[in-house]
Amino acid sequence: MVNDAGQLYTIEGVMASALILTTVYLVLTTTTTFTPAETHIYDLQLEQLGNDVLAVMDMAPTWNTTESRYPKSPLETYIEQNQAEYFRTNFSSYSTATAGSLAGYREDNISFNAHITYRDTTVLPPEHDIKDIYFSSSSGSDNNYQRENAVKVSRWVNINNTDDSHRWFGEKRNQTVLLEVLLWRS
C-alpha cells in the first residue's frame, strides 16, 4: 500500500538542498575582492598620515614658554636652521611608527621627498622670484620619484629669516614658506 508520507520527505529534502545551495552561493559572492578602483583608499590614508605628521611637527611646545611668549614649533626650527637631518629622522619615525609590537613600534615602509618653496623678492625680473629648493628625503639625497602612487602633502610654515647665523635661503626678512612632502610606499 502506498501513502503520501514519502512525498512530504522528498519535498522537504529538495527545499533543504535549495536552501543550502542558495546560502553557499550568497557566502561565496559576498566576499570582499580588491579591485584597482579601490586603490585610492590607500592614497587617502597615506595623505592623512602625512598631514598628521606635519601637524604634529608644527605644534609649538606648551611646557617651556619662559624663553619666548610664542615658542617655535620643531618644524619652524628645522626650516629656519636648515636642520634637514633632524627633519628626516623625526618625519621618518613619526610616519612609520605604529602601535602594536612588543617594543612599541612596528616599522612601515614609507618614503618621502621634501621641498621648500619660497619667494625671493631680490630677483629680477619679478616673475622669477618663486624658488623651489630641496630640503630632505628619507634616503638622504634628492631622489626624484617617478611612480604613480605618490601623494603630496603641504604645510605653510612661518619662519624668522632675519638672523644671519641661520639664514640659508631667500632674503633677510620674516616670511612664510611652503613645505611640500611627497610620500609613497616603497
| pLDDT at residue 102, as a whole number | 46
Is there a single domain that holds both residue 7 and residue 48?
Answer: no
| pLDDT at residue 163, as a whole number | 72
Is there a single domain that holds both residue 78 and residue 168?
Answer: yes
- 79-108 pLDDT, tens digit per residue, is 888 888 999 999 988 887 766 554 555 556
What range defines the domain where residue 5 resides? 1-31
Is there a single domain that holds both residue 27 and residue 45?
Answer: no
Phi, psi of 107 (to 5 degrees): -75, 140
Contact 144, 162 (CB under 8 A): no
In angstroms, the CA 48 to CA 58 distance is: 15
- Scored b (16 or more CB within 10 A) or e, 34-73 reads eeeeeeeeebeebeebbbebbeebbeeeeeeeeeeeeebb
| pLDDT at residue 107, as a whole number | 59
Is there a single domain that holds both residue 162 and residue 71?
Answer: yes
- pLDDT tens sequence for the chain (186 residues): 566 666 777 888 999 999 999 999 988 888 766 666 666 788 888 899 999 999 999 987 766 556 666 778 889 889 888 888 999 999 988 887 766 554 555 556 788 899 999 887 777 776 778 888 888 888 766 666 656 678 899 999 988 877 766 666 667 778 888 999 999 887
Is there a single domain that holds both residue 54 and residue 15?
Answer: no
- 47-60 pLDDT, tens digit per residue, is 999 999 999 999 87
| pLDDT at residue 105, as a whole number | 52
Is there a single domain that holds both residue 27 and residue 48?
Answer: no
Is there a single domain that holds both residue 104 and residue 150?
Answer: yes
The packing angle between helices 40-57 and 84-96, to 10°, is 130
In the chain, alpha helices (H):
5-29, 40-57, 74-80, 84-96
| pLDDT at residue 168, as a whole number | 66
Is there a single domain that holds both residue 11 and residue 67?
Answer: no
| pLDDT at residue 144, as a whole number | 61
Is there a single domain that holds both residue 45 and residue 134?
Answer: yes
